[in-house]
Structure 1
């Protein structure tokens, strides 16, 4: 992979907690413009990896390189300013604001007016047109005036993706975007991820192997904090070590990949 094709790279990324190694010497390379999935059985270290990438945790050792720049020592706010935006596993929306207001807050953060609430309401109205565009992109235009708390579960996840998009991410980190969903919502959110991936890079932790098979360009499998395998879905799912890792931890095999 040519250097400029790599948007994110980790080199020997390691995190130890009081003698327990949660992530051990992980070398990850994410290709620009791809959907890259991070999978693995329970306790494999996927969420810890995400927390290291967004600097919610500080690595014990190793490097994180984004667009050729070493960002290992940067603060979470600096990481976000560079365009690495994480969509949270627990819907990170303001429940009692409307869908439109939630997206507008994301846009305010992106343009730096987050703390300018004393400005006239008109200055915020200029963000509405963009907010409505984003809602349209995620299929929520008809829900603009609903309060977030009133949305069905799958639509809440779509709102979460819209607020993430409002931050104009270059790299989106999606943490189990289809967790807890029924088939219809899973299909809708999967189609949405495929749609918003155009012109962006997505790194996702996901347990639903049908989703992974359908949209991932590349998959990294973690086991006990280490990279067990990497490749396309066909390559990874045919790997005996991967099958064994999943069979050992989940009764329904690869489909039970849950972090």
Structure 2
């Protein structure tokens, strides 16, 4: 039996002063899948993400989450439903420790996010959960380290931890491995695989190796429209995709295969 779609768009369109950035996109994400949105620069991937997470209103079209329309909802409302964009709740407090950053994220649902004047004793009940989240993303040893002093890849892992603090059912990851070296990429791939258990993930990602290793299904955008969709093997073999997106990258992969 086919799994239900947890997230779906119907005719999703976004125009900017006559320029169509997203053109009639019909996206269907199955529950429990890791689904990638890929495409060349300017394909509309980030705009789609901004539409899904309510940073932008669509010109036309509909967004459904668990079969219910969420097109007119606000970002905080869909977050409460369990649809959370990672790095939307970022670890932006550079001079706070990793533990303190996660603890602030845990306070958000309680409506006390910025009650920095609260005593350490009153915040203590959140520490155990914060430490568990840090352990889940491989940062147990960084609990007392200031964020500003953490390596880039570990900061991205911390941002995932702050997102997990909202207990998401579905996570949207915007280029989670961007700017990383191979070692950090491998670490983040394993992190995503781990946190995806029991959740759905939709991710924008340029690194094709990451996509091939992680994703159940891939949607390829080009010029704002869906060009192809399927698993990695079928999408990577599609000549339209190779021409529009993979190009030299695909050729390089074949050369080194």
TM range (shorter): over 0.9
User: How far is the alpha carbon of 1:206 from its aligned partner?
Assistant: 0.3
Q: Which runs of 5+ in 1 are unaligned?
A: none
Alpha-carbon contact 2:5-2:66 (below 8 Å) kept: yes
Matched, 1:158 2:157: yes
Decide whether aligned partners of structure 1 residues 255 and 34 sit closer, same or farther in structure 2, where only a CA change above 3 A counts: farther
**Mapping of residues 67-106 of structure 1, within 5 Å:** 67-88=66-87, 92-106=91-105
Aligned to 2:244: 245
In 1, Cα distance between the equivalents of 2:38 and 2:102?
A: 29
User: How far is the alpha carbon of 1:114 from its aligned partner?
Assistant: 2.0
User: How far is the alpha carbon of 1:91 from its aligned partner?
Assistant: 5.9
Aligned to 1:230: 229
How does the TM-score come out when normalised to structure 1? 0.93
User: How far is the alpha carbon of 1:121 from its aligned partner?
Assistant: 3.3
**Mapping of residues 1-259 of structure 1, within 5 Å:** 2=2, 5-88=4-87, 92-117=91-116, 119-246=118-245, 251-253=248-250
Question: Greater CA deviation, 114-123 or 144-153?
Answer: 114-123
User: How far is the alpha carbon of 1:89 from its aligned partner?
Assistant: 8.5
Decide whether aligned partners of structure 1 residues 175 and 78 sit closer, same or farther in structure 2, where only a CA change above 3 A counts: same
Q: Which runs of 5+ in 2 are unaligned?
A: none
How does the TM-score come out when normalised to structure 2? 0.93
Question: Greater CA deviation, 178-187 or 78-87?
Answer: 78-87
In 1, Cα distance between the equivalents of 2:114 and 2:102?
A: 16
In 1, Cα distance between the equivalents of 2:211 and 2:90?
A: 21
Query: Cα deviations across residues 123-161 of structure 1 (Å, max 9, x unaligned)?
Result: 311000000000001110001000001000110111011
In 2, Cα distance between the equivalents of 1:66 and 1:136?
A: 30
How many aligned positions are there? 253
User: How far is the alpha carbon of 1:5 from its aligned partner?
Assistant: 1.6
How large is the RMSD of aligned CA atoms in angstroms? 1.9
Alpha-carbon contact 1:35-1:202 (below 8 Å) kept: yes
Alpha-carbon contact 1:110-1:168 (below 8 Å) kept: no
In 1, Cα distance between the equivalents of 2:201 and 2:195?
A: 9
Question: SS in structure 2 opposite 1:203?
Answer: strand
In 1, Cα distance between the equivalents of 2:248 and 2:238?
A: 18
